[in-house]
Chain A
């Protein structure tokens, strides 16, 4: 390309169809397939993300663990508010999280959950805040989005299966579903750009530190000792 043309096109005031909005504080997710469809090649580091789950147990948390580990290595704290189950310490430690910087907040009332989430989003020492909240209205969500922007925190709102999506004003919205043994990520909303194609992400290979599960559809698998299964095995009923 002509160098003067390149100089003109690099002006941030010019948007080409197919470009995403510039995302200054993007956190690389550790999964190249996912980074390809996210604005700025990573999770939005100073905004809200809403993740709608079609099923639980499809690798949704493992999708975010590499980015959390990187944030903690930079000295930020991570706050999880009202997680649905007990976060299992051995698994999180194996994934590379620093458990001394992961704070889990249990609240008695939805109002407390909301207050705690807003405090976490505004705190400068907090790098990421995950919340499993109930239904809330649009005004609350906008307030949380402002808090995330001012506190420069990566905020994630998880919507469990059966919960209605609430954050239409989040800067990034994803829908996760299982597909062919891998995680299918559909981008419902991202800043700028056209509609992204659904991506299949393999959360077990390369991204995280959990040992990859042997997948019967691929030949790559762990060396299995005798007595263990090495093929698809249907559960006896």
Chain B
């Protein structure tokens, strides 16, 4: 068992800052706690550069940076974001658990082989979380509680609370940090050598502070009053006495962290339908500027689809307009629907379809928030990996999806034969998504057509009228009598001929006999192209 803990230390900030493009990230932005004496909960890099730190009064922060953008903390959005990250993480492993308020635990021991080893898997996790828009810290341990403890100890907050610097010991994996407005991943060189093995990791647990564990705060306070502040000191105490003093739960927790007893966590179940909402930092009036935010949501959707083994065939993007527009004009949101020909879950494919479709959308008012929902999904088997390097096919957006997204769903059609004598009804629009026929069935279709049929059919039969009188036409085949359709009012009684007109073109003409044999009108119905 190898547990990875994904800690999101600046989650209160990231739920707002996710939608901001890198250009906006250069502006100072902080999240306040709200209430009577609001304090800063989290601040981004440019705000921290001006001297703002968590715990400060908001008034002091505003004095330091007058152009600071401020938002109130949104715990609902934070728990939703944590659930979204957990459902994104289900693409790497089925065993995911939440550790609120800011961590996700994933058991990756079983996935190492599929993803090509521990460094590759951790790199993909780190890059993926960064692409989703969150700053993250990772830690690995054989038990979930220990991984959580390591991750919490590695954050600056943990270091501050434990009162000591932890330069020498590093069990965290790749950590994603902001860097002057642009986010890039910096893998720690210690990481590749820090695969935890017993008993080394147990020794690493000992100096960690108890206040970072999930234990009851009253128990921690009692022990702190007695001078017991670190994990090692708590483990050294006699178990029975400790249980009597602070409760059996505390002792169970110590055992769970060390892996002496199992630590079952309620598994996280991804939702049956995906809904991802993103509030934009400023109202956006043009569709191109939405691309960055839409990209983030598409990555979440792709992770959710991979985790559940599905492909999406129908999505809907709701662009919510500003509140005053909603009230004044009564148009709450613009809904954009997408349909895909075959189920898909590659992020590049979904983004390409969305981009083509969004290029056709005209916004009636600036957009404040976007919501991406999956409407229709279908099971999608995984791609087979090639044995040799170079076997994997390049993932391209199928031509059909691109054409339909840009030109409209009805712009691309198929034709299919229909069993009907009347020629104008002997064909119909085919359904896109029909599996191509096997070669055997083509032969069967050939056998039924022993009569000549033109390649082009005119949409409406053209009366020939005066053209016949000019020069004689040559009939090459016929007459073929088609008499049908008495039951639905569109009855026909026609004699079809294959004729060559004086210009040398071979056409399909008929004489209409509905009103008697003599004097029927001649019509042009098809061209033998």
Q: Which residues of A contact B (CB under 8 A)?
A: 55-62, 72-73, 77, 79, 83-96, 98-108, 112, 115-116, 119-120, 123-126, 177-179, 181, 209-211, 213-216, 227-229, 232-235, 237
Q: Chain B: interface secondary structure?
A: mixed
B114 is an interface residue with CB less than 8 A from chain A: no
Contact of B458 among A58, A72, A85 (CB under 8 A): A85
Min distance, Cβ A69 to any Cβ of chain B, angstroms: 8
Contact of A105 among B412, B446, B450, B451 (CB under 8 A): B412
B271 is an interface residue with CB less than 8 A from chain A: no
Chain B residues contacting A229 (CB-CB under 8 Å) are 475-479
Do residues B504 and A178 form an inter-chain contact, with CB atoms below 8 A?
yes
Chain A residues contacting B289 (CB-CB under 8 Å) are none
Chain B residues contacting A61 (CB-CB under 8 Å) are 455-456, 529
Do residues A94 and B453 form an inter-chain contact, with CB atoms below 8 A?
yes
Chain A residues contacting B504 (CB-CB under 8 Å) are 55, 58, 177-179
Do residues A106 and B413 form an inter-chain contact, with CB atoms below 8 A?
yes
Chain B residues contacting A59 (CB-CB under 8 Å) are 506, 528-529
B499 is an interface residue with CB less than 8 A from chain A: yes
Do residues A89 and B427 form an inter-chain contact, with CB atoms below 8 A?
yes
Query: In the assembly, what is the distance between CA of A106 and CA of B411, in Å?
Result: 5
Do residues B529 and A89 form an inter-chain contact, with CB atoms below 8 A?
no
B398 is an interface residue with CB less than 8 A from chain A: yes
Chain A residues contacting B206 (CB-CB under 8 Å) are none
Known: A178-B505, A228-B477. A237 touches B469 (CB 8 A): yes
Do residues B446 and A209 form an inter-chain contact, with CB atoms below 8 A?
yes
User: Chain B, 441-476, contact with A by CB distance < 8 Å: what is the 0/1 string?
Assistant: 010011001111111111100000000110011111
Do residues B506 and A58 form an inter-chain contact, with CB atoms below 8 A?
yes
Do residues B503 and A99 form an inter-chain contact, with CB atoms below 8 A?
no
Do residues A91 and B399 form an inter-chain contact, with CB atoms below 8 A?
no
Min distance, Cβ B143 to any Cβ of chain A, angstroms: 48
Do residues A87 and B456 form an inter-chain contact, with CB atoms below 8 A?
yes
Residue in B414, B416, B430, B442 whose Cβ sees the most chain A Cβ within 10 Å: B442
Residue in A56, A179, A214 whose Cβ sees the most chain B Cβ within 10 Å: A56
Min distance, Cβ B126 to any Cβ of chain A, angstroms: 32
Do residues A213 and B477 form an inter-chain contact, with CB atoms below 8 A?
yes
Query: In the assembly, what is the distance between CA of A41 and CA of B437, in Å?
Result: 29
| CB nearest to A60 among chain B residues | B529
Query: In the assembly, what is the distance between CA of A110 and CA of B427, in Å?
Result: 27
B112 is an interface residue with CB less than 8 A from chain A: no
Do residues A92 and B415 form an inter-chain contact, with CB atoms below 8 A?
yes
Known: A77-B399, A126-B399. A105 touches B407 (CB 8 A): yes
Chain A residues contacting B200 (CB-CB under 8 Å) are none
Do residues B446 and A94 form an inter-chain contact, with CB atoms below 8 A?
yes
Chain A residues contacting B476 (CB-CB under 8 Å) are 213-216, 229
Do residues B505 and A116 form an inter-chain contact, with CB atoms below 8 A?
no
Total cross-chain contacts (CB, 8 A): 197
| CB nearest to A100 among chain B residues | B436
Contact residues of B between 473 and 494, Cβ < 8 Å to A? 473-479
Q: Which residues of B contact A (CB under 8 A)?
A: 396, 398-400, 402-403, 406-407, 410-418, 423, 426-428, 430, 432, 434-437, 439, 442, 445-446, 449-459, 468-469, 472-479, 497-500, 503-507, 526-529
Do residues B396 and A87 form an inter-chain contact, with CB atoms below 8 A?
no
Do residues B459 and A56 form an inter-chain contact, with CB atoms below 8 A?
no
Min distance, Cβ A129 to any Cβ of chain B, angstroms: 10
Do residues B426 and A84 form an inter-chain contact, with CB atoms below 8 A?
no
Do residues A57 and B446 form an inter-chain contact, with CB atoms below 8 A?
no
Query: In the assembly, what is the distance between CA of A221 and CA of B478, in Å?
Result: 13
| CB nearest to A87 among chain B residues | B415
Known: A85-B457, A119-B403, A216-B476. A101 touches B436 (CB 8 A): yes
Do residues B412 and A213 form an inter-chain contact, with CB atoms below 8 A?
no
Chain B residues contacting A102 (CB-CB under 8 Å) are 414-415
Residue in A94, A115, A125 whose Cβ sees the most chain B Cβ within 10 Å: A94
Chain B residues contacting A181 (CB-CB under 8 Å) are 500
Do residues A88 and B453 form an inter-chain contact, with CB atoms below 8 A?
yes
Contact of B527 among A57, A73, A98, A104 (CB under 8 A): A57
| CB nearest to A93 among chain B residues | B445
Do residues B411 and A89 form an inter-chain contact, with CB atoms below 8 A?
no
Contact of B457 among A88, A179, A213 (CB under 8 A): A88
Query: In the assembly, what is the distance between CA of A96 and CA of B445, in Å?
Result: 9
Do residues B477 and A214 form an inter-chain contact, with CB atoms below 8 A?
yes
Q: Mind listing 9 A-B residue pairs with CB under 8 Å?
A: A57-B527, A58-B506, A62-B529, A85-B458, A89-B417, A91-B455, A103-B412, A123-B398, A229-B475
Min distance, Cβ A235 to any Cβ of chain B, angstroms: 4
Known: A100-B437, A105-B412. A56 touches B505 (CB 8 A): yes
Contact of A96 among B396, B416, B442, B499 (CB under 8 A): B442
Do residues B415 and A119 form an inter-chain contact, with CB atoms below 8 A?
no
Min distance, Cβ B401 to any Cβ of chain A, angstroms: 11
| CB nearest to A96 among chain B residues | B442
Chain A residues contacting B436 (CB-CB under 8 Å) are 72, 98, 100-101
Query: In the assembly, what is the distance between CA of A237 and CA of B466, in Å?
Result: 10
Query: In the assembly, what is the distance between CA of A237 and CA of B519, in Å?
Result: 11
Do residues B417 and A105 form an inter-chain contact, with CB atoms below 8 A?
no
Query: In the assembly, what is the distance between CA of A119 and CA of B506, in Å?
Result: 33
Min distance, Cβ B51 to any Cβ of chain A, angstroms: 53
Query: In the assembly, what is the distance between CA of A235 and CA of B467, in Å?
Result: 12
The 9 lowest CB-CB distance pairs between A and B, nearest first, are: A178-B504, A57-B505, A85-B456, A89-B427, A123-B399, A94-B449, A91-B453, A61-B529, A57-B527
Min distance, Cβ B320 to any Cβ of chain A, angstroms: 30
Contact of A116 among B403, B437, B454, B528 (CB under 8 A): B403
Do residues B499 and A235 form an inter-chain contact, with CB atoms below 8 A?
yes
Query: In the assembly, what is the distance between CA of A56 and CA of B453, in Å?
Result: 16
Min distance, Cβ A96 to any Cβ of chain B, angstroms: 6
Min distance, Cβ A36 to any Cβ of chain B, angstroms: 23
